[in-house]
Amino acid sequence: MNAIQPGDHRAYMQLALSLAQKSPPKPTNYRVGAILVDLSSNKILATGYTLELQGNTHAEQCCLIKLAVQHGVPEERLNEVLPSELALYTTVEPCSKRLSGNLPCVERVLRLAGSIRTVYVGIMEPETFVTDNTGRKSLQGAGIPVIHVEGLEADILEVATAGHIKS
């Protein structure tokens, strides 16, 4: 049973932030938390955080990998089994480019454009690793609104950059 009330975006973002805190601090990535919610039932379908799963995994990627395993389908076919009214909450804007060569999180979300209806973010991606992140523009261009959940920016940035060398 989900104790968060429908539409309480700040509470979902706080939960995503608590997930981000589970990610190991490293100088080469952001610590991010993500939650995928079925809006029709207000049920959390999956959670994830940076480096939760093996490999150089991002939070959104972990959510989707876990859902794919749960449904017994490859990640690229999740749109065939997921409900049609989902919201993605992520502490940092989904990446539009992966320096590791992995599929960017924005492309993963775009594959689910028929299911993921809205992406809620705590902060836009800082330009530490990728300058000019086009994630928000790509999602909005595909008809997926990207909505900033205000009020947790300082906490999110502190958690996201733990382990980074401060200049």
CB-based contact 114:143 (threshold 8 Å): no
Active-site annotation holds for 125: no
Annotated catalytic residue, options 60, 75, 93, 125: 60
The H or E element containing residue 86 is: strand 86-92
First to last CA, the chain: 44
The DSSP code for 153 is: H
CA-based nearest residue to 32, from 166, 167, 162: 162
Distance of CA 140 to the CA centre of its chain: 15
Catalytic residues: 60
